Structure 1
Amino acid sequence: MSLRLFDIKWENVGDKGDYGEFSNDLRGSKQTDSFYDTFPETEADAKAFVVQACSQKSGKFKALDLAQFIDEKYYELTGIKKQIGGDFIRSERSCRLDLRRWGAKFEANSQRPYFEGHERDDVVKHRNEFIGYFLAHKDYYDTITDGEIPMWKIPIQNPLRILIFHDESTFRSGEVRPKLVFWRKYTVFSKGRGRSHMISDFLVQHPSGPFFELSENEWKEATAKYITLSVDSDVTYIDRTATASINIGTDAYFDNDTVLGQFERLFQMLEFKQEYKHNQIEIVVDNVRTHTAKSYSLQEFGKNIGTSGPIEQIEYVENGVQKVIDCYFKGGENKGKSKGLVELCKVLGVQLPAKIKLDDIRDILPTHRAFQNATKLEMLGIKNKIKIIYCPKYHCELNAIEGLWCNQKGFVRSRTDQSFDKMIKLISESRINFVERKIALKLFRRFWRAIE
């Protein structure tokens, strides 16, 4: 209600002795002290509580939490006993207004970060399986001692399990090409404004590490058996290693086929690594599309003879035995034609009704081992008797090689002049620095601490 309605002027209030009457009519603004005027220390504690809650990794803080905190502080300060079922001394709505007054903003989170406490069921299940596996077999791995000077701790169980961590990362310079360049069938691809260099590497949890490398004699034996190891390709490899790199924008991007080629190279070289003889190899890889592409999908198969067949053979493991089934006829009147799901069911021993639709067959077969197909990378690992372990999504702390990228990029960033050639040189120097400072030991120790 405006004072102008009563024809009252502020300069006249008090001159005529009307101030008391004006106040008694409850006109004007603030009539009593606010809650925080009476309890200023509670406001200070509440602000500190909000700052601490919002700085946590978890994103579950709500105005209700603030209301509960203020309620507890009030009764603690006054010594009054709260009645059972009583309301908060300061409502949730008032606390929301307090947050706005203190500078908080309520905005939609378009980035949708992964908060602890807001976890998908499949991620939680995978993480529990991942952690449970390593805790159950911890005595089979080389681990790191506690203390300021980390040292190797030899496992007490046999056979020893050698753990290898794999990942890719991109280094970006400030150098920008003046013109677009097309190379063969690949178009320009740049993840940043400057020229980029992508590396795919392996970090080995073994005293012979931290990087995988063959000796001169081991390399000669490997190339004698696998001639392709010494053949140049679009991917650049460091000598006698499986560490791969490409220049994004001129070379092909690291897709699933490129990654599979790198792992095949690693598996061939592992055969000749004398320090790994008679030991079980396990590789932790990121759970990303370039690593999880399936060999085939049940949806790609047709029902009858001559319909679509995505692959020549189905390979799967049942009761520890690897089995192979042909998806195409090798002889007879149907030679060269795909068998279709009906014929494949006969080979697999799956009984089907006389008249059944394709969708119904696809509902039945997913439970069979032949169609619970592993990824291409897992199949390659099974072929070479190497276990592939996928790291849970959103859990970079469970892949020790992430710390390698952090260290290398910090080294490069502190010394670069933003030119591409300088960056390439610094990347090589950063690997040497990483080895000399024995940073890998701390990364491996951090991995096991995260597991526990």
Structure 2
Amino acid sequence: NTYVIHHYLLLLIFVMAPPSKRRLQLSAVSKKRLSTSYLNTQINNTSSGEESDMEIDDYNDEEPSNCKSKFTIGNIADLFELCRAQCPLKYLSVLLYMSLRHFGVSWNDCDGFLRDIGSLKAQTAHKWSQTFMSGDFDEFQGENRGGKHNAEFYDYFPEIENEAKQFTLERCSEKSADFTAIDLANFIDAKYYEMTNLTKNVDDVLIRSVSSCRLDLRRWGARFKENSQRPYFEGHERSDVIEHRQQFIDYFLDQKDYYYRVSNDDKPVWTLPTQSPPCILLFHDESTFRSGEVCSKRWFFGKEAPFHSKGKGRSNMVSDFMVQHPSGPFFSLSKSEYEKALVKYPQLANDTGITYVERTATGSINVGQDSYFDNATILEQFERLFQLLEFKEEYKDHVIECVVDNARTHSAKSHSLLDFGKSIGTRCPVDRIEYTDAQGQKQILNCYFQGGPNHGMSKGLLYLAKELQIQVPSKIRLEDLRVSRLEQLAAKYGVTIKFCPKFHCELNCIEGLWCSQKMYVRRKTDQTYTTMLKLIVESRENFRDKEIHLKLFRRFWKCLLAYKDGQSYAKVMKMFFGTKCEGTVKSHTRISNSNLNV
């Protein structure tokens, strides 16, 4: 008994620490001594030596740097599942628990780790460790003594194993990267009931678990590895960004009772505004889909890999809106509402070069062929939205606000208004401004007086506005002169625009829509433009059906509260987007249901 326990302690040491040459040789000798083929020493001596040399050479070729980032929970869970086939679950669980506690790992971290890899809970492992430490070996070994000696599933159904291998090879050879271990588990399940002529009940579990299928894939030579690179950007905690962020946060939290929000229950539901008039919050953004982009990781079989198209392919730019309202997540009019809108705004039916989803303001452009979403097209799309909003029956008697990012398409100007003063003689960065008027004629506007009592002095924004025949109140504030064209257009239709702080995509809920859609498209794409357009439509419906928007809206308000409590950008990213997020480097973090459940 003591020998068995020491053997598994030795095994754990080999797993946890990078092996030296001496340890590799000792491991090879130990395996050889415990092997049933040990009696054939004369036959196996040469091959064992070659194997040991190969193992040592393979290790020497590996990078000696820290590989912690490569040790994912999935890999550890797969290895644990493999060990369970040779050793009782209780022994492994107690061994891991005692080792983790020995190195000072907290109880909660131990429990979370053991649960993630499929081990016994920390409470159970602690109980058995106390039994082991008390010296009561009979009780400790009272269950599952001797490990597992049952025949494997494929020993009874070798035909299913052959078909499963063929199925895996075919799926890994496809361009699309949507093959998962779940697909293999479902395939094996279907073949089992087909072969046995049994009827599966609705409540029956899979005949072979997903974790076992992952081990099958590894045993057959498949590997799950990087399929493409991820985009990066530098985050910022600049003083101006923090100031804008604080204004943004205070605005929404001070008026939170006016908005439709989502509860914090396990199954989120809508909570209605308690103040009047109620406010509907829209989120807008654009994103580009590229037909050549593929999923970051996928299963490969052996050394074979399907052909991969070079480059990013053709692009399609989508500009969309998400609505924080029970009628959402996407804005659209009914057929009767749209007909009423056409009566007042017949230009809604005109062809403008933007492909709109029927009866909505959601548009797309084939980049490189149908131009690009620039300032003019964005303003055109927003005006279409504002005109359609008027006829949405569910939005009657509501205040409408729209959150947009700080992209140049929303506030692009040849000169920044922040550099100009309001009055005569104040700061002015340029001598003159060249622009094109509504008739297409080139015009020049002098920013300094060319004569008169103010000769040589700057005109200031107020005087320049009057020269451009813009009706401006004489007592207007400087901040009011600096509003963007989008804000002016929105005010015309009674809509408020709120700009999201720079570098804070987590405060714009629609970013989660792009993550969900692109993950769906990249997994199923065959890298053709036609398929990509079809998948974009499907991914939008998939987003709606899974109700991911509820979790995104809930996370928006939680991020606001976290910032209000003094948390930094990096801390908020780790709190609500996963512990692997580093606020200073990563962009468009992958959104999954587990990350959204906050």
Tell me if 1:122 matches 2:240: yes
- CA offset digits 1:385-428 (Å, max 9, x no partner): 10000000010000000000000011111111111111110111
1:384-403 to 2 correspondences below 5 Å = 384-403=493-512
| Map of 1:375 onto structure 2 | 484
Q: Of residues 317, 321, 328 in structure 2, which corresponds to 1:202?
A: 321
CA distance in 2, matches of 1:389, 1:259: 16
Amino acid at match of 2:263: T
Match of 2:453 in 1: 355
Residue 373 of structure 1 and its aligned partner are, at CA, apart by 2.9
Structure 2 stretches of 5 or more lacking a match? 1-64, 70-231, 294-310, 425-431, 439-443, 465-474, 562-598
Q: Give the conservation status (yes or no) of the 8 Å contact 2:461–2:481.
A: no
2:399 maps to 1:290: no
- Contact 2:282–2:321 (CA under 8 A) maintained in structure 1: yes
Q: Which residue of 2 aligns with 1:430?
A: 539
For 1:114, the aligned partner's letter is G
Q: Which runs of 4+ in 1 moved over 2 A?
A: 293-301, 307-313, 337-343, 353-373
Please give the secondary structure, in 1, of the residue aligned with 2:268. Answer: coil
1:418 aligns with 2:527: yes
Q: Give the conservation status (yes or no) of the 8 Å contact 2:404–2:500.
A: yes
Q: Which residue number in structure 2 is paired with residue 447 of structure 1?
A: 556
CA distance in 2, matches of 1:125, 1:308: 30
Superposed displacement of residue 300, structure 1 = 12
Residue 233 and residue 339 in structure 1: after superposition, are their counterparts in 2 closer, same or farther (change >3 A)?
A: same
Q: C-alpha distance in 1, partners of 2:334/2:557?
A: 29
**Alignment: residue pair count:** 292
Alpha-carbon distance between aligned partners in 1 of 2:262 and 2:353, rounded to the nearest angstrom: 38
What letter matches 1:410 in structure 2?
M
Residue pair 1:300, 1:308 contacting (<8 A) in 2 also: no
Q: Structure 2: which amino acid aligns with 1:362?
A: G
Indicate the structure with greater helix content. Answer: 2
Q: CA deviation at 1:308?
A: 7.3
SS at match of 2:276: coil
- Closer, same or farther in 2 for the Cα pair 1:433/1:140, shift >3 Å? same
SS state at 1:170 partner: strand
What one-letter code is carried by the residue in structure 1 that aligns with 2:235?
Y
Preserved CA contact (<8 Å) 1:165 1:285: yes
1:156 counterpart residue number: 274
Aligned residue identity for 1:292: S
Aligned to 2:397: 278
Corresponding residue SS for 1:387: strand
- Partner in structure 2 of residue 247 of structure 1: 366
| SS across alignment from 2:282 | strand
- Residue 204 of structure 1 aligns with an amino acid whose one-letter code is V
**Secondary structure of 1:162 counterpart:** strand
1:128-165 alpha-carbon deviations (Å, 9 max, x no partner): 00000000000000000012211000110010010000
What letter corresponds to residue 165 of structure 1 in structure 2? F
Counterparts of 2:277 and 2:448, CA distance in 1 = 42
The letter of the residue matching 1:138 is K
TM-score, structure 2 length as denominator?
0.45
Asked if the contact 1:378–1:387 (Cα under 8 Å) also holds between the matched residues in 2, the reply is yes
Say whether the 8 Å CA contact 1:296–1:310 is kept in structure 2: no
Q: Note if contact 1:234-1:251 (Cα within 8 Å) is conserved in structure 2.
A: yes
Per-residue deviation, residues 185-227 of structure 1 (Å, max 9, x unmatched):
xxxxxxx631011100000000010000000110000011111
User: Which of 229, 254, 262 pairs up with 1:144?
Assistant: 262
Tell me the TM-score normalized by structure 1: 0.58
What's the C-alpha RMSD, in Å, of the aligned pairs? 3.5
Query: Is 1:168 the equivalent of 2:304?
Result: no
Distance change in 2, residues 1:267/1:152 (3 Å): same
- 1:294 and 1:376 in contact (8 A); partners too: no
1:262 aligned partner, one-letter code: Q
Cα distance between partner residues in 1 of 2:328 and 2:492 = 25
The amino acid across from 2:339 in the alignment is K
Q: Is this contact kept in 1: 2:449–2:455, CA < 8 A?
A: no
Distance in 2 (CA, whole Å) between partners of 1:425 and 1:112 is 30
User: 2:461 & 2:386 partners in 1: Cα distance?
Assistant: 36
Q: Which residue of 1 aligns with 2:234?
A: 113
Gaps of 5+ in 1: 1-46, 53-110, 176-191, 314-336, 344-352
CA contact (8 A) 2:341 2:388 kept: yes
Could you say which residue in structure 2 is the equivalent of 1:238? 357
Paired AA for residue 445 in structure 1: R
